[in-house]
Amino acid sequence: MTGRRRSIPAAAFALSLIAGPAGTAGTRHVSEYDISLGILPVAKASFASEFGSGDYRITGSFRSWGLAEIISKISAETSVTGRKRGDKLEAERYNLVYKTGKRTRIYEVTYRNGDVTRSVMKPEPKRRPANWVPVAPEDLRSVLDPLTGLVFSGDAKVCPSRVPIYDGESRMDLILKRKGTESFSTEGFEGEVIVCEIRYVPKSGFRRGRSDIEHLRKTPMEIWFAKAQSVNVYAPVYARIPTSMGHVYVKAARYGG
């Protein structure tokens, strides 16, 4: 985890993995996910999305579960609104309210044409340590939010070579490589999914030298994308995320339906 909250692959990345698509024209796609550390259930999440003729909205919630909640209660509410431009989604406003114990942190980001025009963190962070890599102005150009970053139009390449992400504090690249296909079934979906390998490349907004960051950087992740036929969009249904404590698994318990 980075600083007092999390690293992008462990939490905000997990949130992006579990953002499912939906349609406003009589169709609502709701996805629910179980998250585990090895065989131990640690969290649950639920997401719903709406696509209009030229815009979209994704909202979701995340909370610790099972024995993990006894150790530390964690929850998050997140949302993004944006526009559809051709076969791409372009965020306009991203919000994350992240709670751990009695602490609450809020992230608000405004985008325009892919560039960050405003980024607010509440409360403001305390003085950064000497090994902190600051976010430079050029890091905020041509980026995506964590939710939009891993939802693809059915007409777009599902495993693009690079996805640039800014989550309100950290800037990173996700390097994707297609590995093939697998069969997957859950409530609301049964069929073939696209399997991608993902590598995490931290750019800025993190503490250099942290063991968990180095572990994630060196170890590839895996994510499976399923197509939501009603709106011609691919979104994740399964992910395997390596951490120093073991693998975190994200699996759709419900995907539409």
Provide Rg for the chain, Cα atoms.
17
113 occurs within a structural domain: yes
The pair phi, psi for residue 245, each rounded to 5°, is -95, -5
182 occurs within a structural domain: yes
- Mean pLDDT (whole number) for 5-12: 42
219 occurs within a structural domain: yes
User: Is 108 within 8 Å of 180 (Cβ atoms)?
Assistant: no
Residues 6+ away with beta carbon under 8 Å from 124: none
Q: What confidence score (pLDDT) does residue 202 get?
A: 95
Over 50: is that where the pLDDT of 130 sits?
yes
Among all chains, which residue has been given the structure tokens 């073991």? 246
* Total structural domains within the chain: 1
Residue type (1 letter), 36: S
2 occurs within a structural domain: no
Q: 25 is in which domain, residue-wise?
A: 8-255
Among 70-84, 109-123, 186-200, 215-229, name the one with the lowest average pLDDT: 70-84
Residue type (1 letter), 89: L
Q: 28 — alpha (psi -120 to 50), left (phi > 0) or beta?
A: beta
> How many C-alpha atoms does 220 have within 13 Å on its Cβ side?
11
Query: For the segment 216-244, what is each residue's pLDDT rounded down to a tens digit?
Result: 889 999 999 999 877 778 989 999 998 87
3 occurs within a structural domain: no
> How many residues in the chain?
257
Please name the helix (run of DSSP H) or strand (run of DSSP E) that holds residue 163, with its range, or none. strand 163-166
More confident residue, 257 or 60: 60
